[in-house]
Amino acid sequence: MHWMFSCKDVSQLLSESMDRGLPFYQRVLMRMHLLMCKYCARCREQFEAIRAASCHEELHGKDLDDSRGLSNGGKERLKKFLENDLTGAP
Amino acid sequence: MNARKSDTANIDNPETWVDEYGDFLYRYALSRIKDPSVAEDLVQETFLAALRARENFKGRSAGRTWLIAILKHKIVDYIRKKIREPSSDKIETLSDLADTDFNDHGGWQIRPFKWAINPAKIYEQKEFLDVLYRCLAELPERLAEAFMLREMDGLSTEEVCKVLDITATNSWVMLYRARMSLRRCLENKWLSAGQ
């Protein structure tokens, strides 16, 4: 990696900085690049938005088709299973 | 009775679990594991583990949150076992996924747009969440697994490496590819829809 980071380098470092601590010189050079490059600054904002959205509970358990729940047969099987376990039946 | 007390009361009543939490848990499992029968098995295992651990629950969190936490472990266990089997989309074949974003000099080929979104108020952006979900579904399986373990389940990168049996360097590359793919997909599908 050259001492002057390219936008591609910076996009990689932006992502890595979300998963590990970067060495001091990489942090400094990345910040300098971000001050000068509005497109990489936008990339950082986009990564942050994706992270914030991924933590959101709305996304968890949500399926494209909201009607996709357990089938009636599946529910009955699970209820029977729980009932047997609670009563100690085989 | 407030919602929290009501939720705790439901947890005290295993007979109601399937009706109360079954669909939610199943959809959660299905969003990670695409196979409906496996998703159902994981819900069953979650209920079984919850039955065994019921005495320790004592209403410290909402029942749904508690069950989801158990289900997450079951999903991670399942992925860990499955990952021992050969996978079709190895990291090598994913290597060029993000390269189309940049020119030969490492500059942006397609410049990122300004997103009119406030991460702190993401819950107000229902359409953004919907599109992100669709984009996640389009990611190659291994990338999606790495991303969801890290960002949705909150595992550390060390834990992600253990589950997926990959090196730290591979995990950073995979997470980078996943974020870049999601970014590009959102620009195409969410921005083009007029936000």
Q: Are B70 and B129 members of one domain?
A: no
CB burial of residue B138 (10 Å; 0-12, 13-18, 19+): exposed
Structural domain spans, chain A = 1-61
CATH of the domain at B23: 1.10.1740.10
Final residue in a domain of this structure, among B58, B83, B108: B83
CA separation for the pair A85, A83 (Å, rounded): 5
Closest residue in B to A8 (Cα) is B106
What CATH number has the domain bearing residue B164? 1.10.10.10
* Longest distance between any two alpha carbons in chain A, whole Å: 70
Question: pLDDT value at position B59?
Answer: 62
ipTM above 0.90, yes or no: no
Q: DSSP for B16-67?
A: GHHHHHHHHHHHHHHHHS--HHHHHHHHHHHHHHHHHHHHHHTTSS-HHHHH
CB A16 within 8 A of CB A22: yes
Domain boundary (B65, B83, B101) is at: B83
**B11/chain A closest Cα distance in angstroms:** 13
Q: Which domain holds residue B115?
A: 91-191
Name every residue whose Cβ is closer than 8 Å to that of residue A83 and which is 6 or more positions away in sequence.
A89, B15
Single-letter code of the amino acid located at B119: P
Q: How far is A7 from chain B (nearest CA, A)?
A: 5
Give the number of domains in chain B: 2
Name every chain A residue with its beta carbon within 8 A of the beta carbon of B18.
70, 75, 78-79, 82
Look up the pTM and report it.
Answer: 0.73
Is there a contact between B174 and B91 (Cβ–Cβ < 8 Å)? yes
**Cβ-defined contact of B152 to A55 (cutoff 8 Å):** yes
- CA of A24: how far to CAs of A11, A17, A27, A29, in Å? 17, 11, 5, 9
Choose among A58, A69, A74: nearest Cβ to B123: A58
DSSP 8-state assignment for residue B185: H
Tens digits of residue pLDDT in A37-85: 999 999 999 999 999 888 765 555 554 455 678 888 888 888 888 888 8
In the block, which residue shows the tokens 């989309």?
B89
Question: For chain B, which ranges sit under pLDDT 50?
Answer: 1, 3, 88, 90, 92-93
- Write down the pLDDT at residue A48: 93
d(CA B44, nearest CA chain A) in Å: 6
DSSP at A61: T
Co-location of B68 and B97 in the same domain: no
Taking CB atoms and an 8 Å cutoff, what residues of chain A touch B105?
Answer: 6
Separation of CA A12 from chain center: 16
Q: How far does Cα A56 stand from its chain's mean position? A: 10
